[in-house]
Structure 1
Amino acid sequence: MIDIKRVIYKYGLLALFVLMVVFFWIASPAFGTTQNVFVILQSVSVTAIVALGVTVSMAVDGFDMAAGSIVSLSVMVSTATQIYLGLGAFPAILFALLSGVLVGVFTGALIVFAKIPDMLAALGSMFAIQGLSLIITAGKSVSKGNGYNGAPAKGDFDDAFLWIGSGTVFTVPFSVILMILVGVIVAVFLERTRTGRLMRAIGSNREAARLAGTHVGAYRILAYALSGLLAALGGIVLAARVGRGDVNVGSSYLLEAISAALIGFAVFGANRPNAFGTVVGALFVGVLVNGLTMFNVPYYTQDFVKGTLLVIALVVSFSKIFNTQQRDR
């Protein structure tokens, strides 16, 4: 006999995703065009990359709340390096990625050495980095031709840098290819490598992992460093797409990234952080927003709809109604 609750638990979210796509496609044929598909994929590429980093932090039972601030910092660092310092694409990318890693290591160190709870440590980092992003540019956006604090600009945006956000490879946007590549790397890392397995073991039972000889602290710091790295990469893609550095532009990506990572828990009933589920979660949110926009649904109602779907996904993943593993505990 088919266990209906078990089927809903494993395939309910994917079924809802397919039904949503079919509904939008039938209601608005323009939704299914190749151009719109690429628009959706491009719109979720930054969210997915950032969410994959958050997923890595979740693998060690953490929660990188500073991811959105790191996106903002990366945007400001990468754009300021080119406009204010007159350097090219490579230094801009290098400095931005390095800034993300350093913030991740700092957050991890607060958790491991100062014994601050994950959420509080990440929140502290978030507020500190938001302030640092403003200091770097004197509280102003970075744009072409405008130097630091009114001074003449020393450089311009490198074409190679802008290509990251707007370039294509055989008509496929590079940002989409990058999203897929990062998704595959994170999936292989968490599922197939020794380091990834140890991280998941720490997330499942930290004390058991410690007693087995795992250096729990080092792996937790590494997880936050990787989360910071991917958040910074997302910021680079965002800055390259818009061609400017807007103050606190990464704030909105925190909620979307967390939503994507948590929705991923419900994909195939994984009930744990996983790269495939996170990408599906990002696509879920992207398709929903794109469809609602086509139907001229007011922007101020979209957060409510996204939040409602997140709650549904969490109920399916963690509630005893559908999750038999949770019910058995």
Structure 2
Amino acid sequence: MSSNSSEANLSSPKEKKSGFDFFQFLYKYGTIITIVVLIIVFSVANPSFLSVNNLINILRSISIVTIIAIGLTISLSVNGFDLSIGSVASLANAVVISMFVWHSQSTVVAIAVALLCALLVGLLNAFLIVKVRIPDMLLTLATMFVIQGVALTYTRSATISENMIMPDGSYSTGTISEIFGKIGQVPFIIIIMFAIVILVHIFLTYTKHGRYMYVIGGNQEAARLSGIPVNKYKILAYLLSALFAAIGGIVLASRVMTAEINAGGNYLMDAVAAAFIGLSVLGAGKPNAFGTFVGAVLIGILANGLVMMSVPYYAMDIVKGTVFALALALTYYKMK
């Protein structure tokens, strides 16, 4: 009897492995399948969709979303959630342009000041979440409005650009450096995006610090009992989240060469969508840089294709929301 039972135990795993799990397949490849379907549909509708220029345009268009979403991905890795990334991007966008236009600073100084301001926001978020223990979603929702208000106050609710009219009636004399203007152009904007995705992927996947973050995100108490400094890594996560949001805002500033009112706020929901869609890419089941990039690609392809098909702007959100829901349904529905 014991031999029969042992044979049954040995054979049962093989039986499970030999069967094809259709829903597990969709969970792993649902997002990629959606991307392929969209490419086919848009290519049939407009053959120029697959042109090299258009593909480069898609990569350029998703660069800022991807960079900002990578920061959110890091906060998600410790089971956090940073809703202030859009406002931080707006603040960095305003500060870096103002350093040029209002204060005639160099490129290094302008970027450094913008990054410093963002890191202060990240430090504030981390302190209130880790030490005061305010729930992260509620806290970052509050700081989102606060930082948005700070950015509007700093810019006097006006667009910052070269030769703008100052409050005293004079014109600004500062100019934006040519070197800074190169950051937001092809191929540099795409190179920056890929570099960030690769670096964060290596950090989260192959370093002990990234693995510690995943352990904290999986079970914070178990991580604490294992000797992992949980608070230290949560603080690091929110600092990196703010840092990448600021980089996104700086790249946006270089791309348009002005600081628009609440410019980064438009990227919040797309960044959130990219990060959450990417959770299950290739069956990862956790926040990851590669999955976030794939989620951003889905968003970029969808937006670009809808424009090429001349879909009215007021109907785009309906189509985008439907496709996002389909992608999430394909990737998250699994048989129990």
User: Normalized against structure 1, the TM-score is what?
Assistant: 0.93
Q: Are positions 1:232 and 2:251 aligned together?
A: no
Aligned runs of 1:150-161 on 2, under 5 Å?
Answer: 150-161=169-180
Aligned runs of 1:154-303 on 2, under 5 Å?
Answer: 154-166=173-185, 168=186, 173-303=187-317
Q: Which residue of 2 aligns with 1:107?
A: 125
Query: Structure 2 CA distance, aligned partners of 1:256 and 1:212?
Result: 36
Structure 2 counterpart of 1:55, from 73, 97, 100: 73
Q: Alpha-carbon deviation of 1:242?
A: 0.5
Q: Which residue of 1 aligns with 2:33?
A: 15
Instruction: Tell me the matched-pair count.
Output: 317
Paired amino acid for 1:163: K
Gaps of 5+ in 2: 1-18
CA change 1:105–1:240 in 2 (3 A) is same
Paired amino acid for 2:83: M
1:266 and 1:313 in contact (8 A); partners too = no
Q: Which residue of 2 aligns with 1:77?
A: 95
Q: Are positions 1:126 and 2:144 aligned together?
A: yes
Q: Identical aligned pairs, as a percentage?
A: 43
Q: Alpha-carbon deviation of 1:317?
A: 4.1
User: Normalized against structure 2, the TM-score is what?
Assistant: 0.91
1:61-114 CA deviation, whole Å, 9 max, x = no partner? 011100000110011000000000011211111111112211111111110111
Query: Structure 1 CA distance, aligned partners of 2:195 and 2:225?
Result: 35
Query: Structure 2 CA distance, aligned partners of 1:159 and 1:258?
Result: 32
Query: Structure 1 CA distance, aligned partners of 2:236 and 2:87?
Result: 19
**24-33 or 68-77, larger mean C-alpha shift:** 24-33
1:271 and 1:318 in contact (8 A); partners too = no
Q: Alpha-carbon deviation of 1:279?
A: 0.2
Query: Structure 1 CA distance, aligned partners of 2:108 and 2:207?
Result: 29
Q: Alpha-carbon deviation of 1:148?
A: 4.2
Gaps of 5+ in 1: none
Q: Alpha-carbon deviation of 1:309?
A: 2.7
Query: Structure 2 CA distance, aligned partners of 1:295 and 1:45?
Result: 22
Q: Alpha-carbon deviation of 1:25?
A: 1.7
Query: Structure 1 CA distance, aligned partners of 2:214 and 2:173?
Result: 46
Query: Structure 1 CA distance, aligned partners of 2:304 and 2:332?
Result: 28
The CA RMSD measured in Å over matched residues stands at 1.3
CA change 1:151–1:63 in 2 (3 A) is farther
SS in 1 for 2:159: coil
Query: Structure 2 CA distance, aligned partners of 1:67 and 1:52?
Result: 10
Q: Which has the larger radius of gyration?
A: 2
Q: Alpha-carbon deviation of 1:221?
A: 1.1
